[in-house]
Amino acid sequence: MKPRPFDYVRPDSVDEAVAVLAEHGEEARVLAGGQSLVAMLNLRLADPAVLVDITRIAALDEIYDLGDRIEVGAAVTQNRLLAWPRLADKLPLLAAALPFVGHFQTRNKGTVCGSVAHADPSSEIALSLAVLAGEVVLRSQRGTRVLAAAAFQKDMLTTAREPDELITAVRFPVMSGRGVAFREVARRHGDFAIIAVAALVEDKAAVRLGVGGMSGRPVVRHIATADGSAARDTIDGMALELQGYEDLHASAAMRRDLLRRLGPVVIDEAIRCAA
Amino acid sequence: MPPLVGTSTLRKEDPALLSGQGRYADDLPTAAGTLHAHVIRSPHPHADIVRIDPAEALAKDGVWAVITGEDVRKISDPFLVALKTPVHQWSLAVGRVRYVGEPVALVVAENRYLAEDAGELVQIEYRPLDAVIDPQAACAASAPVLHPEAKTNEISVRKFSYGDTKSAFERADARVALSSSFPRLSFTPMECYVVVAQYNPAERGYDVLANFQGPFSTHPVMARALRVPGPKLRLRIPPDSGGSFGIKLSVFPYIVLTAIAARITGRPVKWVEDRVEHLCAASSGPNRITEIEAAVTRDGRILGLRLDQLEDYGAFLRAPMPGPLYRMHGAVTGAYDIANVDVINRVVLTNKMPASLIRGFGGPQLYMALERLVQRIAIELGLDPLDVIRRNLVPAHKMPYRAAAGSLYDSGDYPRAVATATGGGRLDDLKRRRDAARAAGRKYGIGFAAIVEPAMSNMGYLSTLLTADARDKAGPKNGAVSMVTVNIDPLGAVSVTADCTVQGQGHETVLAQIVADQLGLKPDDINVVLEMDTAKDQWSIAAGTYSCRFTPGTAVAAHIAAGRMADKLKEIGAKQLNVLPADVELAQGKIRSRSNPDNAAPFGRVAGTSHWSPVMLPEGMAPALSETALWMPPELEPPSSDDRINTSLTYGFVFDMCGIEIDPLTYQVRVDRYVSMHDAGRILNPMIADGQMRGAFAQGIAAALYEEFTYNDEGAFLTGTFADYLVPTVSEIPAVEMLHQETPSPLTPLGAKGLAEGNCMSVPVCIANAIADALGVKDVPVPASPRRIHALLEGGGG
């Protein structure tokens, strides 16, 4: 469990970081909190020639209130966002979801953007970003582009990031006062979710329901809530359409049943939270 | 001064351990020039090794050697095992690999990074073979055979018969049968294996530091493998070890491998196991399939029992296997008074990592079958499960009780323990909770388990594996020796060495309590040194820390050694105080006259006499510098000609009772209330005992609900990281209410029994019984993961 040899670069600025990425492309990996990457290095599952450590770039270690959106820089840790005083007001869904991300110790190192970049299908942060219809900001020497969450995460551990691009921030739309709820099922607290379900109240008649862990990336649907049995039918339809997948901890059928059981509960919690 | 034994004396170990000052194997300084080893492991569950080409790796700077099975075969021998069968294991695979993770080659380099880089350059060509994972499939004639010379994978079948089981089944009102399966799991210590080996060519001997836990019966196995007499394998065990739970016995093949590497390279070699290696290849408890059947009367009295136990030891049988199949043998009837029992024990090999010692050692497997059966008897006869337990428990008036297969249950009052645990409103509360949950449509069940917990193994138990004739030829094996030495220095300071290995249990504290009581001192006055050096410390093959031998064994030896030292000091003191020895007592740091306490001398002054003035000692007395006690209880007799064996010295009792609920949203089993009643004889230190029992309880929960080594049908290993092998954390461990009753053992002067394994044995089946009650099912898969509960509840699913 020792990594192969690699070069280590610790740029002081975003320009410097994207210059290294431009030079090395796919041979380079960005290191932020390292909570997934370092384990992969030690297992020799990741094999970069260059590690680009962005944690000392001061400009990336900021949370910006842009008015209608909150921008979280690429060096901001999960615990830092969780401790941000305006989180519960501006981003109540993240306030509910972040405590499920790993453990206190891993959240001290793990970053918000790193979790989005890793694109695990059951990631709580990627799911929240999808439900909130947030954005991912990508910088390269070619310029800056902003992708919608749905366009960014393509599949399991696969994103639209080009090898020369650095995720500099993610942006979460502000949802003050909106009813939200988040639940996940995991074998132990802090484990990757078997499935995660998030709900955001749109208006009196509809919620946005997001599901992680059923397919390669988070799935978001608008669900009419006026008729409870129709909502349950919609969720059942989602379960059958997404199918779910099989791993050591859950069969696809169990994932479908978990969604059927949790979906209505989470929607109900979000509506009660809004009331 | 009230005795220290029996009090919650604070742990002497904790200041160091809690402030990062522990001295673990990897922390200790190594000699200049020490090389580092990396083990190349098999990616295949079963394959012939066609060719190993180390040239490219050897060409790398800083690489000293690439050692293969052929090298190992030339300079070492296969490990000895009790079962005489052509299953040969060396410290590296020779010719064939038989499980994923099996060591195939060892790269030795100037640091571990280089060794791992070079490991990727070693070219190994394999010819894959069909693997067999399922133990029943492995017994089939058509199964791939792991060891062709053995001709079969089912390498041992032994049949035992006690009483008249046949007629018990004939006269029974009913028969109740059950099939039970216990999974593979480990109890992963925080610190993995560490070995540092040196070869001394002048002496042709090895000097090895390793966090080995014993039993020291494995020392001759290692020495024989290295082709040296025992004294030429000097094994040192560091002062601290980061947990063990039985697992650190199995460092022994790596001790031999690292020693071979030191000999080949001529340099000290260090190997530190990492977690990936540990999970796939360190050790596992064996999985067992049991077919069990009871002959019962209409009211649930068990007249006879039949067990057919098929235990899967993985790719090799290595010492002291198949221990788990035989360690419980004398007590195979558990806590029950059952006169007639037939047992078939089968040992099978499959393409999995070799199984070995693990806390509980055969108990969890046995009780998963026996206690599930007791619950089934109640269901099938329409009785209350608790009534079936009560009706069959060994009654108090039969103590000491000779169990059908030979165990001598030394003491206990099982019915009273059950009455206490179910009393106090506890069982009523559980029933109220169950009824309320069921009324609300939830799935709630109550489970019970009654078990006997053996301690201090008879060194002869494993020979029950052999027929009586074969035992006669092999020579007698029985008993178990414990050794402790109490020393006094010139200023009267007391130090103690013992034949146990440290793993964090608090032995230092308990030994200090025992010795301080005898010498009238405080625990802080007693300096306990438990690091081991086989070249200089006293040990027997029974030495080490395993199978709860500390309390009935080592602790007793300490009591005897300190008592003898006290007697000598009283005689010396009598002369100095000018009184009769009978009038002398050791108390409050003084040696004084009982009748005239003012006539006293400081302990150190009298105790140092043997150093300064040996000539002036009472006539005929050997100097009181050092007292070594060897404790060997006579009850640990060899197996009788009809295969009865008293497998252990003391037998404690545990009765568990719990209520569980299936989470209606998540399929998780949630423990609602858990009560655990213990009778471990006299408790030496209640705080340490409580810690031991809570640790065993947590591991019982782990086995019941979380931990399992999983292989797919082709033999791939699926639980290679802690993301898939789920060790429960403190968040997952439910509260437990511990109750105690103390029935001292009459067989040891301290009256104390083992207590560190009972909950590993009782908790998995108690929870399984509760799940069976909640879901109304006969077969309860363990660990009862949400996935398995979902499959039980929903079948195939939509």
B732 touching chain A per CB within 8 A? yes
pLDDT higher than 90, residue A153:
yes
CA gap B530, B521 in Å, rounded: 20
B141 touching chain A per CB within 8 A? no
| Contact check, Cβ <8 Å, B798/A253 | yes
B790 touching chain A per CB within 8 A? yes
Which among B657, B637, B282 is positioned nearest to B433, based on CA atoms?
A: B657
A109 CA: distance to closest CA in chain B (Å): 18
The residues near A188 (Cβ < 8 Å, ≥ 6 apart) are B706, B726, B728, B729, B731, B732
**Selected residues 61-120 of chain B with any CB under 8 Å from a CB in chain A:** 112-113, 116-117, 120
Domains in chain A: ranges and CATH? 7-53 (3.30.43.10), 60-173 (3.30.465.10), 180-274 (3.30.390.50)
Q: What is the pLDDT of residues B548-557, one digit of tens each?
A: 999 999 999 9
Phi-psi region of B358 (alpha: psi -120 to 50; beta: other; left: phi over 0): beta
Q: What is the pLDDT of residues B382-422, one digit of tens each?
A: 999 999 999 999 999 999 999 999 999 999 999 999 999 99
| Contact check, Cβ <8 Å, A188/B728 | yes
Which among B714, B703, B708 is positioned nearest to B99, based on CA atoms?
A: B714
Neighbours of B385 (CB within 10 A): 21
Which among B526, B522, B524, B492 is positioned nearest to B588, based on CA atoms?
A: B522
pLDDT averaged over chain B?
Answer: 97
pLDDT higher than 60, residue B608:
yes
Phi–psi pair at B116, nearest 5 degrees: -70, -40
CA gap A171, A138 in Å, rounded: 11
CA gap B423, B476 in Å, rounded: 47
The answer to whether the CB of B615 falls within 8 A of the CB of B622 is no
The pLDDT of B620-630, averaged and rounded, is 94
Binned at pLDDT 50, 70 and 90, residue A228 comes out as confident
Which among A128, A134, A98 is positioned nearest to A218, based on CA atoms?
A: A128
The owner of tokens 């990631």 is: A123
The pLDDT of A192-208, averaged and rounded, is 95
Instruction: Kindly write down the DSSP assignment for every residue of B647-689, as one continuous string.
Output: -EEEEEEEEEEEEEEE-TTT--EEEEEEEEEEE-BS-S-HHHH
The residues near B558 (Cβ < 8 Å, ≥ 6 apart) are B484, B486, B496, B498, B511, B514, B515, B629
pLDDT value, residue B1: 72
The residues near B18 (Cβ < 8 Å, ≥ 6 apart) are none
Which among B695, B685, B693 is positioned nearest to B555, based on CA atoms?
A: B685
Instruction: Quote the DSSP letter at residue B295.
Output: E
CA gap B437, B445 in Å, rounded: 9
The residues near B194 (Cβ < 8 Å, ≥ 6 apart) are B24, B25, B26, B209, B210, B211, B251, B270, B271, B272, B273
The answer to whether the CB of B268 falls within 8 A of the CB of B275 is no
Q: Is the peptide bond before B201 cis (omega within 30 degrees of 0)?
A: no
CA gap B367, A267 in Å, rounded: 45
Instruction: Using alpha carbons, list the distances in angstroms from residue B187 to B117, B270, B278, B358, B457.
Output: 30, 24, 11, 7, 21
Of A4, A248, A261, nearest to B710 by CB-CB distance is: A248
| Contact check, Cβ <8 Å, A2/B667 | no
The answer to whether the CB of B39 falls within 8 A of the CB of B103 is yes
Report angle CA B625, B628, B633 to the nearest 5 degrees.
160
The residues pairing with B348 across neighbouring beta strands, listed in sequence order, are: B154, B312
pLDDT value, residue B422: 98
Report angle CA A154, A158, A162 to the nearest 5 degrees.
95
pLDDT value, residue B796: 56
| Contact check, Cβ <8 Å, A188/B275 | no
The answer to whether the CB of B640 falls within 8 A of the CB of B597 is no
Please report, in angstroms and rounded to a whole number, the separation of the first and last CA atoms in chain B.
71
pLDDT value, residue B798: 57
A129 CA: distance to closest CA in chain B (Å): 24
Torsion of CA B547, B549, B552, B553, to 10 degrees: 160
Model ipTM value: 0.95
The pLDDT of B260-282, averaged and rounded, is 98
B245 touching chain A per CB within 8 A? no
The pLDDT of B755-781, averaged and rounded, is 98
Chain A residue numbers with beta carbons less than 8 Å from the beta carbon of B36 are: none
Instruction: Kindly write down the DSSP assignment for every residue of A249-261, as one continuous string.
Output: S--HHHHHHHHHH
Half-sphere exposure for A184 (CA within 13 Å, toward CB): 30
pLDDT higher than 90, residue A275:
no
The pLDDT of B54-70, averaged and rounded, is 98
Binned at pLDDT 50, 70 and 90, residue B251 comes out as very high
Q: What is the pLDDT of residues B129-160, one digit of tens each?
A: 999 999 999 999 999 999 999 999 999 999 99
Domains in chain B: ranges and CATH? 18-27+34-129+193-273 (3.90.1170.50), 287-460+637-794 (3.30.365.10), 481-631 (3.30.365.10)
A185 touching chain B per CB within 8 A? yes
CA gap B551, B652 in Å, rounded: 12
pLDDT value, residue B795: 79
CA gap B739, B675 in Å, rounded: 8
Mutation pick from B107, B278, B790, B792 vs chain A, by most beta carbons of A within 10 Å, is B790
Binned at pLDDT 50, 70 and 90, residue B180 comes out as very high
pLDDT value, residue B2: 86
| Contact check, Cβ <8 Å, A188/B718 | no
Q: How many angstroms from the chain centroid is the CA of residue B639?
A: 21
A233 touching chain B per CB within 8 A? no
Please report, in angstroms and rounded to a whole number, the separation of the first and last CA atoms in chain A.
52
The residues pairing with B179 across neighbouring beta strands, listed in sequence order, are: B291
Q: Considering the entire predicted model, what is its pTM?
A: 0.97
pLDDT value, residue B249: 97
| Contact check, Cβ <8 Å, A261/B116 | no
Instruction: Kindly write down the DSSP assignment for every residue of B308-353, as one continuous string.
Output: EEEEE-TT---TTTTHHHHTTGGGTTTTB---EEEEEEEEE--SSP
Instruction: Quote the DSSP letter at residue B261.
Output: H
pLDDT value, residue B120: 97
A268 touching chain B per CB within 8 A? no
pLDDT value, residue B39: 98
Collapsing DSSP states into helix, strand and coil, what is residue B385? helix
pLDDT value, residue B160: 98
* Number of helical (H) and strand (E) elements in chain B, helices listed first: 22, 29
Instruction: Kindly write down the DSSP assignment for every residue of chain A, as one continuous string.
Output: --PPP-EEE--SSHHHHHHHHHHHGGGEEEESS-TTHHHHHHTT----SEEEE-TT-GGGS-EEE-SSEEEEETT-BHHHHHT-TTHHHH-HHHHHHGGGSS-HHHHHH-BHHHHHHHT-TT-HHHHHHHHTT-EEEEEETTEEEEEEHHHHEEETTEES--TT-EEEEEEEE--TT--EEEEEE-SSTTSPPSEEEEEEEEETTEEEEEEESSSSS-EEEEEE-SSHHHHHHHHHHHHHHH-----SS--HHHHHHHHHHHHHHHHHHHHHHH-
Of A187, A250, A262, nearest to B665 by CB-CB distance is: A262
The residues near B123 (Cβ < 8 Å, ≥ 6 apart) are B51, B52, B53, B54, B56
Binned at pLDDT 50, 70 and 90, residue B338 comes out as very high
| Contact check, Cβ <8 Å, B798/A191 | no
The pLDDT of B190-195, averaged and rounded, is 98
Of B275, B666, B724, nearest to A1 by CB-CB distance is: B275
pLDDT higher than 90, residue B450:
yes
Chain B residue numbers with beta carbons less than 8 Å from the beta carbon of A189 are: 729, 731-732
A3 CA: distance to closest CA in chain B (Å): 7
The residues near B634 (Cβ < 8 Å, ≥ 6 apart) are none
Both tokens of B23, joined, read 């001295």
Both tokens of B188, joined, read 């992963």
Provide Rg for chain A, Cα atoms: 19
Instruction: Give the whole-number percent of chain B exceeding pLDDT 70.
Output: 100
CA gap B775, A236 in Å, rounded: 25
pLDDT higher than 80, residue B620:
yes
Helix pair angle (B218-225, B252-265), 10° resolution: 30
Nearest chain B residue (CA) to A262:
B665
The residues near B495 (Cβ < 8 Å, ≥ 6 apart) are B486, B487, B488, B489, B526, B527, B528, B529
B787 touching chain A per CB within 8 A? yes
Phi–psi pair at B147, nearest 5 degrees: -120, 95
The pLDDT of B485-506, averaged and rounded, is 96
pLDDT value, residue B29: 96
The residues near B589 (Cβ < 8 Å, ≥ 6 apart) are B520, B521, B522, B525, B602, B603
Of B113, B666, B791, nearest to A2 by CB-CB distance is: B113
